[in-house]
Amino acid sequence: MTRAQIQLAALAAVVCLAVAPFVLSPFSITLMNYIGIYSLVAIGLALLTGVGGIVSFGQAAFVGVAAYATAWISALNGYSPWLGLLFGVALTCSVAAILGVVTLRLQGHFLSLSTVAWGLAIGFLFGNVEGLGRFNGIASIPPISFGPYALVTSSQIYFLIWGIVAVVLVLGYNMLDSRLGRAMRALRGGNTLVESLGINAFRIKLATFVIAAFLASLSGWLYAHLSRFISPGPFDAGMGIEYLMMSMVGGAGSLLGGVVGAAIVTLLKNSVQDYLPLIAKGASGQLEIVAFSALFILFLQWARQGIVPFVAHYLPKAKRERPQPAPPLPRRSQPAPGELLLKVDGAERRFGGLVAVNNVSFEVRSGEILAVIGPNGAGKSTMFNCLTGALRVNKGEIVFAGRPITRDAQSRIAKAGIARTFQHVKLRPRMSLLENVMLGTYARTRTGLFAGAFRLNQREEASARHEALMQLERVGLGDKPFELAGNLPLGNQRILEIARALAADPALLVLDEPAAGLRRQEKLRLAELLRSLRADHLTILIVEHDMEFVMSLVDRIVVLDFGSKLCEGPPSAIRSDERVQEAYLGGVA
Amino acid sequence: MTSDIAAILGIDGIATGAVYALVAIGTVLIFTVTRVIFIPFGDIAALTALTLAALDAKRFPGTGALVVILACLATLIEIISLLRAGEPRLLPRALAFYLVLPLAVVGAAWLTMRLDPPLAVRLVLALMLIMPISPLLDRIVFRPIADGTVLLLLTVSVALHFALVGLGLLFFGPEGVRTEPLTSFSMELAGVLISGQTLLIVIAALVFSGLLYLFFDFTLVGKSLRATAVNRTGSRLMGIRPARAGTIAYLLGSLMAGVSGILIAPVNTVFYDSGFLIGLKAFVGAIVGGMTSYPGAAIGAVGVGILESFASFESSALKDVIVFSLLIPILIWRSLASLHSEEEIEE
């Protein structure tokens, strides 16, 4: 599908939605209104759960905070619903920000459990606060009005609801296709990679969380002024699950899936209410929840991926054009060849009683390839993790480009100009080669959330895209930039990681066992690539196991054994060093 | 608050906490063996109370019908998966286990009912009717996705809870029940009256956790369960079937939940949906133990009970808000305390 075809399909959808209230019955319009309102929450959850990998059971509580806020402002205190919107959004986003700051550092299922906890706590609060009408709720909420024109009937508020949904979808897709959106999509699959790209994973998570809460608050505001009456019921834990269900049914990770999921779940629920009484008279209320849960469980068992990705699989792939040449991104000033770039001074790292790295010192000079080698358990990987900030040294100092980085977080070290690859390849398999490499440009670009959502960033975006393509071509992967990274063989995945690191315009490239698991031909290609990078005056530090690979490639070698530095020198000297031979081959009898 | 009131609240809290502790230990048991955070445990406890009340009223409880339906479903699924795997020779065993055994239990309960049995027998009947439910649910719901992420299993488990609440309403109706006290004994300790029921709850909690400890440390089956908890693949290589370990874990867990349901029924009025809060509070306790430690879970659950007791004295409306808000700092503490390896989320 071309861009024009996608736009045509979107236009057709908009026209259908616009005509709908003139064709449909009032009941159907009301149903459509609720679908629109639920869609907003589900879109937020698609972002949070599908894109960011944070499963939240508590979105209904956010809807409730905004609904109660606007009801309190407009029904109980007599102010305009628009003030209610401001207050509701501000309150919800503040609550979300506080909860996010407190809980988003939690890992995996701990995080999801915390959403159950605050979801329940907030839900119970609605029914138990004196000023909010307790379980009786708040009635006679005024309608939203534009000047004298009040949105009283369901066909009047219809356009407001679906207008908001359409705007949210457009802005959401824009944002996902921007710098921050790529960072969000990279969250799924762990923090290590994200941090190593100079991205503050916590801040991205917090932003995603607050955006999802913001969408929930819009939904809560619309809900309160559509139904004109609120009680704790629609914001309880059960509804939180239902929202999650909507986004999963539609296809978590797809914004459009949020709308589709909301529509399917709402319509299904409606028809279950219609047909169950025919099957089991008098017990329909109970059976409804049973049937619903059973359907959800079956869905999770058999079609976890969701409807929109399933359908998209059968649609023709979007044809994308190769990035056009664009002005280059700003480059950092590279150190002069031969200058001292990295100095490790007396580094020590303990794990309990084990000293993994013991008083290790070495220097890396600009323009050289230095290898850190050693037998298994020599402390290479620990040393590596200390350099890149994944671990802290207990003693000693690490200075990079004249600045101590001993205590810096991973993302700050990455920003300072150290780009890394991983021993176990860390890519985002569902993103294209181009997008994976564009992740590397994160620290060199500055487009924010709003600029991304409103597409005010097109110049920088074009530059980043072009830079990524250039790096892909530089490493020899430039022929299929839109291929998914997961489809590459391991050798090329390692090379792709190098391209991503190069896109960060690093002063020092650090490679963690780049030859591990590669076949001979792939190793030769990799060595060739690294040589060409040295010819471009890039400084490279390799932690490696494979002697043959290292010996023919590097300028100098540091040998570690049992956590201590054994010796240091050019490959020829290391090859003939008796201590090294003993460490690798055992003592000569 | 005087010291008298504090003492009464404390004892009340310990009794409530002991009930939560039984469910919490069951939750930890299931989680370690199967990685499922089994939210519906509270529902199992509530269903046991409702079953017992029905038996007391000389009505055959809806639990029987539930077990029959689940047994038929599980058998159907088992037959299909065995035929697909090309192992029809295992069919008789599957039929015996998933169909005949549960039906026999229901049949025996139904026949015993005719004889107007005494309380002790009714207790056993209630437990017998409850215990097949979670292993059957495991077969139907969780086994097809046993290798999924913890999050997927959690989502399914939450959905399952809602299904069970609906079934509870269907089979038992909206009325709450309160069963007759198991004992009329009471004693005075340092000026505070302690009812026999409270004592019974605490003793039962201690006895069952003790038995579980013995089971895990001194029997081969217990050790195989622990092995499965540590490493599924590794224990499979050692000839332990994770599915069987899961079934045993569910049976044991249901027993604990059932006992807690029986203990709480004379003290609190139990409704079809009371289970959710019992389950979640037990769960808060289980998290205190990091979802892995039984003593930790028990201590945490008792702590939740005491907290709830004092919180309801201060503000009965907000007691649940307080308990669940407290979960967040506990989670943060646990998350910091546990060595977190990066959990790769499935893509």
Whether pLDDT at B341 is above 50: no
- Listed in sequence order, the residues at least 6 apart from A239 whose beta carbon sits closer than 8 Å to its beta carbon are A60, A63, A233
Whether pLDDT at A283 is above 70: no
The whole-number pLDDT of residue A61 equals: 93
Higher pLDDT, residue A564 or A134: A564
Q: Which of residues 80-119 of A touch B (CB under 8 A)?
A: 99, 102-103, 105-110, 112-114, 116-118
Whether pLDDT at A346 is above 90: no
- Give burial (CB, 10 Å; 0-12/13-18/19+) of A199: buried
Q: Given the structure tokens 């009794």, which residue do they identify?
A: B15
- Listed in sequence order, the residues at least 6 apart from B92 whose beta carbon sits closer than 8 Å to its beta carbon are none
For chain B, the residues whose C-beta falls within 8 A of a C-beta of chain A are 37, 141, 144-145, 150-152, 154-156, 158-160, 162-163, 165-167, 169-170, 276, 280, 284, 287, 317-318, 320-321, 324-325, 327-328, 331-332, 334-335, 338, 340, 342-345, 347
* pLDDT band (50, 70, 90) for residue A279: low
Q: How many CB atoms lie within 10 A of CB B31?
A: 24
pLDDT in tens, A427-445: 888 888 999 999 888 888 8
Partner-chain residue, chosen from B154, B166, B170, that has the shortest CB–CB distance to A109: B154
Radius of gyration of chain A from its Cα atoms, rounded to whole angstroms: 28
Which residues of chain B make contact with A128, given a CB cutoff of 8 A?
Answer: 317-318, 321
Length, in residues, of chain A: 589
Best interface-test mutation with A: which of B32, B69, B137, B155 has the largest number of A CBs within 10 A? B155
**Closest residue of B to A121, CA-based?**
B321
Partner-chain residue, chosen from B158, B170, B320, that has the shortest CB–CB distance to A286: B170
Which residues of chain B make contact with A296, given a CB cutoff of 8 A?
Answer: 159
Partner-chain residue, chosen from B145, B324, B342, that has the shortest CB–CB distance to A191: B342
The whole-number pLDDT of residue A164 equals: 92
Let me know: does B298 contact B25? Beta carbons within 8 Å.
yes
Strand duo A369-373 + A539-544: pairing: parallel
- Give burial (CB, 10 Å; 0-12/13-18/19+) of B129: buried
User: DSSP labels for A510-550?
Assistant: EEESTTTT--HHHHHHHHHHHHHHHHTT-EEEEEE--HHHH
* pLDDT band (50, 70, 90) for residue A286: low
Partner-chain residue, chosen from A107, A118, A124, that has the shortest CB–CB distance to B320: A124
* pLDDT band (50, 70, 90) for residue B344: very low
Q: For residues B222 and B212, give the distance between their C-alpha atoms in angstroms, rounded to a whole number.
A: 9
Residue B347 to residue A286, Cβ atoms within 8 A: no
Q: How many CB atoms lie within 10 A of CB B280?
A: 25
Which residues of chain A make contact with B155, given a CB cutoff of 8 A?
Answer: 55, 244, 248, 300
Q: For residues A457 and A453, give the distance between their C-alpha atoms in angstroms, rounded to a whole number.
A: 9
* pLDDT band (50, 70, 90) for residue B340: very low
Residue A300 to residue B155, Cβ atoms within 8 A: yes
The whole-number pLDDT of residue A587 equals: 59
Whether pLDDT at A106 is above 60: yes
Whether pLDDT at B130 is above 70: yes
- Distance to chain B for A124, nearest Cα, Å: 6
Whether pLDDT at B346 is above 60: no
The whole-number pLDDT of residue B342 equals: 42
Which residues of chain B make contact with A245, given a CB cutoff of 8 A?
Answer: 159
CB pairs under 8 A between A and B: 131
Best interface-test mutation with A: which of B321, B323, B330, B346 has the largest number of A CBs within 10 A? B321
pLDDT in tens, B234-266: 888 888 887 888 888 899 889 888 988 888 888
Q: Which of A313-322, A396-405, B87-96 is predicted least confidently?
A: A313-322
* pLDDT band (50, 70, 90) for residue B279: confident
Higher pLDDT, residue A31 or B242: A31
In this complex, is the C-beta atom of A424 within 8 Å of any C-beta atom belonging to chain B? no
Residue A75 amino acid letter: A
Partner-chain residue, chosen from B144, B165, B345, that has the shortest CB–CB distance to A289: B165
The whole-number pLDDT of residue A137 equals: 80
Residue B154 to residue A53, Cβ atoms within 8 A: no
Q: A319-323, A435-439, B114-118, B311-315 — which one is most confidently predicted on average?
A: A435-439
Whether pLDDT at A582 is above 90: no
**Closest residue of A to B169, CA-based?**
A286
**Closest residue of A to B159, CA-based?**
A293
The whole-number pLDDT of residue A211 equals: 94
pLDDT above 90 covers a percentage of chain B that reads 3
- Distance to chain B for A58, nearest Cα, Å: 13
Best interface-test mutation with B: which of A98, A113, A187, A194 has the largest number of B CBs within 10 A? A113
**Closest residue of B to A242, CA-based?**
B159
Whether pLDDT at B343 is above 60: no
Q: Which of B180, B211, B184, B213 is nearest to B199 (CA)?
A: B184
Q: What is the ipTM of this complex?
A: 0.82
pLDDT in tens, B3-32: 778 888 888 888 888 888 888 888 888 888
Q: If DSSP codes are grouped into helix, strand and coil, which group holds residue A470?
A: helix
Let me know: does B288 contact B299? Beta carbons within 8 Å.
yes
- Distance to chain B for A201, nearest Cα, Å: 13
Let me know: does B253 contact B282? Beta carbons within 8 Å.
no
Sheet of A403-404, strands arranged across: A354-365, A340-351, A395-400, A403-404
pLDDT in tens, A138-150: 888 888 888 788 7
The whole-number pLDDT of residue B91 equals: 83
pLDDT in tens, A120-136: 888 888 888 777 777 77
The whole-number pLDDT of residue A277 equals: 67
CA distances from A497 to A75, A436, A472, A514, B256 (A): 57, 8, 10, 10, 51
Whether pLDDT at B173 is above 70: yes
pLDDT in tens, A47-97: 998 888 888 888 999 999 999 999 898 888 888 889 889 999 999 999 999
Question: What's the mean per-residue pLDDT of chain A?
Answer: 85
Best interface-test mutation with B: which of A297, A426, A431 has the largest number of B CBs within 10 A? A297
The whole-number pLDDT of residue A282 equals: 59
Partner-chain residue, chosen from A55, A108, A286, that has the shortest CB–CB distance to B166: A286
The whole-number pLDDT of residue A119 equals: 87
pLDDT in tens, A443-475: 888 888 888 888 888 888 888 888 989 889 888
Let me know: does B154 contact A109? Beta carbons within 8 Å.
yes
Instruction: Work out the average pLDDT over B273-289.
Output: 83
Higher pLDDT, residue B193 or A390: A390
The whole-number pLDDT of residue A589 equals: 47
**Closest residue of B to A116, CA-based?**
B324
CA angle B290, B314, B13 (to 5 degrees): 45
Question: What's the mean per-residue pLDDT of chain B?
Answer: 82
Q: How many CB atoms lie within 10 A of CB B179?
A: 25
Q: Which of A136-150, A209-223, A342-356, A397-411 is predicted least confidently?
A: A136-150
Which residues of chain A make contact with B144, given a CB cutoff of 8 A?
Answer: 301
Whether pLDDT at A218 is above 50: yes
Partner-chain residue, chosen from A99, A293, A301, that has the shortest CB–CB distance to B162: A293
Q: In the numeric block, which tokens belong to residue B84?
A: 């697909």
pLDDT in tens, A167-210: 999 999 999 888 888 888 888 877 888 888 888 888 999 999 99
Whether pLDDT at B345 is above 60: no
The whole-number pLDDT of residue A91 equals: 93
Higher pLDDT, residue A238 or B335: A238
| Helix%, strand%, coil% for chain A, nearest 5 | 60, 10, 30
